A and B are shown apart, each in its own frame.
Chain A
């Protein structure tokens, strides 16, 4: 498990680097090297670290531990075939973590990032909808059961494509530089993570790598099924590149528009699942 954990951190960061590179090439920029996010994590580890004078020390430090801890837990749950509900509970906890990051430093930029994180909670509703659609078909939310169902009945991506689309929107809302990335918008400097520098930011980078890896792996296991390792890696890169295309070709929405669009998507998905429930 320790080897898988270290692989997830570095491969997740590599995926984020590929994301930046693809966006840059679409926008006809050279872009950073694909290992840039790994270098970022190492760079922040080498920087002098302290706690700002205006920060709440316990929250400022503790929230970094929680951020890494919850995504480590998510990785353990996914790899051991645990419940999908735990993954989604951790996804929701991440919102609280972002809020904690923003509020802990005493900086207004961080606070605005934290507040935006809370108002963008609408992005979680499509997640519940995709869980409901899966439960209708598989009668279970254990990842092992969902994989077993797909081995007999084929991928859920074909059975419930709109539920897969709902989760794709959730992935999109967590990708940097995307249309829904209002928490890290440039008018807020770096949003909720503005004042977390040095080792704290390195910890946050580790969290981001783990989060990206876990969310993509969950999508593949839940909607495509169990694949050989090299195919999982390939599928992750392909899904990531499609996300990068969306991020590169769509502008970042204003906070109001972002919440409105996510709520509309959630509404459509709720109607879809209600229809599925009636038909099944």
Chain B
């Protein structure tokens, strides 16, 4: 997994959500648009942060498939 993509994902989603919050606060962006950005951005930010932090860039694992 490419950590640079995860970092970019995290930053883009965080900046988008913060920007939407500010624009909504100043009355430029309607609430529904702010909510849509937040709903899309929050999961991307969480996973982007986690993957940038702990994702392994090597081989994948084979799960236990039963006896």
User: What residues make up the interface of A, taking CB atoms closer than 8 Å to B?
Assistant: 1-2, 5, 45-55, 61, 64-69, 72-73, 76, 80, 105-108, 194-195, 198-199, 202-203, 206
Cα distance A52–B61 when bound, in Å? 5
Pair B43/A199 contact, Cβ less than 8 Å: no
For A72, the chain B residues whose CB sits under 8 A away are 38-39, 42-43
For B60, the chain A residues whose CB sits under 8 A away are 50-53, 55
For A67, the chain B residues whose CB sits under 8 A away are 43
- Residue of B46, B61, B62 near A68 (CB, 8 A) is B46
User: What residues make up the interface of B, taking CB atoms closer than 8 Å to A?
Assistant: 1, 17, 21, 31, 34-35, 38-40, 42-44, 46-47, 50-51, 53-56, 58-66
Q: List 14 additional contacts besides A52-B61, A53-B63; criterion CB under 8 Å.
A: A45-B54, A46-B54, A48-B54, A49-B1, A49-B54, A49-B56, A50-B59, A51-B1, A68-B42, A69-B43, A72-B38, A80-B35, A107-B63, A198-B55
- Residue of B38, B47, B59 near A203 (CB, 8 A) is B47
Cα distance A73–B21 when bound, in Å? 16
- Residue of B31, B46, B55 near A206 (CB, 8 A) is B46
For B61, the chain A residues whose CB sits under 8 A away are 50, 52-53
Pair B39/A69 contact, Cβ less than 8 Å: yes
Select from chain B the residue with minimum beta-carbon distance to A66.
B43
* The 4 nearest A-B residue pairs measured at CB: A199-B50, A68-B43, A53-B60, A65-B43
Cα distance A53–B34 when bound, in Å? 37
Contacts A50-B56, A73-B39; is A199 near B62 (CB within 8 Å)? no
- Residue of B34, B39, B42, B51 near A49 (CB, 8 A) is B51
Q: How far is the CB of A89 from chain B (nearest CB, A)?
A: 14
Q: How far is the CB of A131 from chain B (nearest CB, A)?
A: 23
Q: How far is the CB of A101 from chain B (nearest CB, A)?
A: 13
Q: How far is the CB of B19 from chain A (nearest CB, A)?
A: 12
Cα distance A187–B19 when bound, in Å? 47
Cα distance A127–B60 when bound, in Å? 41
For A80, the chain B residues whose CB sits under 8 A away are 31, 35
Cα distance A67–B38 when bound, in Å? 14
For B1, the chain A residues whose CB sits under 8 A away are 49-51
Select from chain A the residue with minimum beta-carbon distance to B62.
A53
A-B contact pairs, 22 of them (CB 8 A): A2-B38, A5-B42, A45-B50, A45-B54, A46-B54, A49-B1, A49-B51, A49-B54, A50-B55, A51-B60, A53-B59, A53-B62, A54-B65, A55-B60, A64-B43, A69-B39, A105-B63, A106-B65, A107-B63, A108-B65, A198-B50, A199-B54
For B55, the chain A residues whose CB sits under 8 A away are 48-50, 198-199
- Residue of B31, B34, B47, B54 near A47 (CB, 8 A) is B54
For B59, the chain A residues whose CB sits under 8 A away are 50, 53
Q: How far is the CB of B12 from chain A (nearest CB, A)?
A: 14
